[in-house]
């Protein structure tokens, strides 16, 4: 028997969960179809940074609204927990990119973000255990930090369920149905579901799901290694940090660990359901060499664990939040490693596009699917180039 809904969300990662929450909040009878379990894909392996420094103002706006409207008052806005920890965030710039850093900070301040350009000396004063010999200036966001992506997704799901949404796990989409140029429903291994709205939020599986609707979406599977290092007892306060000078990023993980990763060995083209959790052969050695340059006391710690995550990445390494030529079929995919921190505002904005015809929370027109066919790939106003090598 076909089950009938107002909207179907394919994927129960943090983006799909956020979309389901906002649909249910608007009163739509919503089904969330998840091929495995909630947050079992990219969300469960997210590094969880909450920072607002991007070289594309539209992305900074998404992260700022996500922080301002959701993360900083999560219990009141959504319910449950998101695990937000305010550690401060430092964006370290290469010396040759100082003008870009300043231009991006100026754009972000126009949006309302609490950020400023600080000298290496000021970074050292804030975080004495960081070596600052490799850069002259950085951006500092005192309000930023990190959160728990799995908690965030689960909070969204539970809030959606309280508003009438249905979650079906181990439920894989096998066909997208349409008639007269409009989506009509989804078939799965657990039966058929009818709805005039379907949203593809399937993470690294999104290219396959789009193909079920006859769409070719330019996504690759992107594989990223992340290490958890034991925090030395002598190490003082450290921020969440993206370090363009040494090409790494790191943040605290509670009081006992440090999450850290590099940016130059991300693999492309693995199967989205690849189970291999083996990092690239030189990942750990290269990462430790870099981290010791920035935080020498890291040598007094050790390795706790490594995990391997996969997401979908687009040619311009920016997300797709968009309608398509198939009426009622929407894309929220190709998140390219930025989905978690943008998910509250991006999902709200996409639901506004779906139900109201235009987004209000943030203008998501730059992230339209048609930009690839138009040859108008997104570039930062003061571009740093692609993050993931």
Residue 196's pLDDT is 98
Give the pair of three-digit tokens for residue 346: 């991006």
DSSP symbols for 27-93: T--EEEE-SSSTT-STGGG---EE----SSHHHHHHHHHHHHHTGGGHHHHT-S----EE--EEEE-
- Whether residue 14 has pLDDT greater than 90: yes
Q: How many CB atoms lie within 10 A of CB 184?
A: 14
Of the pLDDT bands very low, low, confident and very high (cuts 50, 70, 90), residue 389 is low
Q: Which of 46-60, 120-134, 144-158, 253-267 has the lowest mean pLDDT?
A: 253-267
What pTM does this model have?
0.97
> pLDDT band at residue 214, thresholds of 50, 70 and 90?
very high
Determine the Cα–Cα distance for residues 290 and 120; give it in Å rounded to an integer.
18
Q: Are strands 85-86 and 116-119 parallel, antiparallel or unpaired?
A: unpaired
The region that residue 169 occupies, defined by phi over 0 for left and psi between -120 and 50 for alpha, beta otherwise, is beta
Q: Which two tokens stand for residue 187?
A: 């078939």
- Domains plus CATH for the chain? 3-45+150-219+316-374 (3.50.50.60), 84-145+221-308 (3.30.9.10)
Q: What angle do CA 190, 194, 198 make, to 5 degrees?
A: 95
Is residue 104's pLDDT more than 90? yes
CA distance to 163, 172, 228, 277, 360, per residue, from 349 (Å): 19, 26, 34, 34, 6
- The DSSP code for 385 is -
Residue 275 pLDDT > 80: no
Query: Which strands make up the sheet holding 329-333, listed edge to edge?
Result: 166-168, 30-33, 7-10, 198-200, 329-333, 320-323
Q: What is the pLDDT of residues 219-244, one digit of tens each?
A: 999 999 999 999 999 999 999 999 99
What mean pLDDT is predicted for residues 170-185?
Answer: 98
> What is the per-residue pLDDT across 128-152, written as a single tens digit (0 to 9) for each?
999 999 999 999 999 999 999 999 9
> What pLDDT does residue 364 have?
98
Query: Could you write out the DSSP letters of every residue in 332-366?
Result: EE--TT-HHHHHHHHHHHHHHHHHHSS-SSS--GG
Note the pLDDT tens digit of each residue in 23-32.
Answer: 999 999 999 9
Burial environment of residue 366 by CB neighbours within 10 A (0 to 12, 13 to 18, 19 or more) = middle
**pLDDT (mean) for 359-365:** 98
* Distance of alpha carbon 230 from the chain centroid: 25
The C-alpha atoms of residue 312 and residue 228 are separated, in whole angstroms, by 23
What are the structure tokens assigned to 113, written together? 């973000």
Residue whose C-alpha is closest to residue 328's, from 223, 180, 206: 180
7-21, 64-78, 127-141, 268-282: least confidently modelled range: 268-282
Q: Rounded CA gap, 325 and 323, in Å?
A: 7
Q: Tokens for 170, please give them.
A: 């181990």
Establish how many alpha carbons lie within 13 A of residue 223's alpha carbon, considering only the half-sphere containing its beta carbon: 18
| pLDDT the model gives residue 265 | 67
Enter the tokens of residue 275: 């189970």
Rg (CA), the chain: 20
């Amino acid at each position: 028997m076909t089950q009938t809904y107002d909207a179907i969300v394919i994927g129960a990662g943090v983006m799909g969960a956020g979309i389901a929450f906002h649909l249910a909040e608007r009163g739509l009878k919503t089904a969330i179809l998840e091929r495995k379990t909630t947050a079992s894909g990219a969300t469960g392996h997210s590094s969880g940074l909450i920072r607002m420094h991007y070289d594309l103002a539209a992305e900074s706006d998404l992260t700022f609204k996500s922080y301002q409207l959701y993360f900083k008052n999560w219990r009141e806005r959504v319910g449950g927990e998101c695990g937000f920890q305010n550690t401060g965030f430092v964006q370290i710039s290469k010396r040759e990119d100082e003008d870009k850093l300043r231009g991006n900070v100026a754009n972000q301040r126009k949006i309302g973000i609490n950020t400023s350009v600080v000298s290496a000396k000021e970074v050292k004063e804030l975080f004495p255990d960081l070596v600052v010999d490799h850069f002259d200036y950085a951006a500092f966001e005192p309000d930023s930090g990190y959160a728990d992506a799995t908690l965030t997704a689960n909070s969204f799901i539970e809030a959606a369920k309280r508003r009438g949404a249905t979650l079906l796990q181990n439920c894989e989409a096998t066909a997208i149905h349409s008639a007269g140029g409009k989506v009509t429903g989804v078939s799965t291994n657990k039966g058929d579901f009818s709805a005039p709205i379907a949203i593809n939020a399937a993470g690294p599986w999104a290219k396959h799901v789009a193909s079920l609707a006859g769409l070719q979406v330019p996504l690759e599977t992107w594989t990223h290694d992340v290490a958890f290092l034991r925090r030395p007892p002598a190490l003082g306060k450290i921020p969440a940090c993206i370090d363009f000078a040494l090409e790494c990023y790191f943040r605290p993980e509670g009081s006992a660990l440090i999450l850290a990763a590099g940016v130059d060995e991300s693999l492309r083209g693995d199967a989205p359901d690849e189970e291999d959790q083996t990092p690239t052969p030189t990942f750990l050695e290269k990462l430790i060499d870099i981290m010791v340059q920035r935080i020498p006391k890291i040598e007094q710690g050790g390795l706790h664990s490594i995990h391997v995550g996969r997401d979908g990445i687009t040619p311009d390494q920016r997300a797709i939040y968009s309608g398509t030529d198939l009426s009622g079929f929407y894309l929220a995919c190709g998140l390219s490693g930025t989905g978690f921190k943008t998910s509250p505002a991006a999902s709200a904005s996409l639901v506004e596009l779906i139900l109201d015809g235009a987004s209000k929370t943030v203008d998501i027109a730059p992230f339209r699917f048609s930009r690839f066919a138009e040859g108008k790939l997104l570039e930062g106003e003061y571009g740093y180039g692609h993050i993931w090598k």
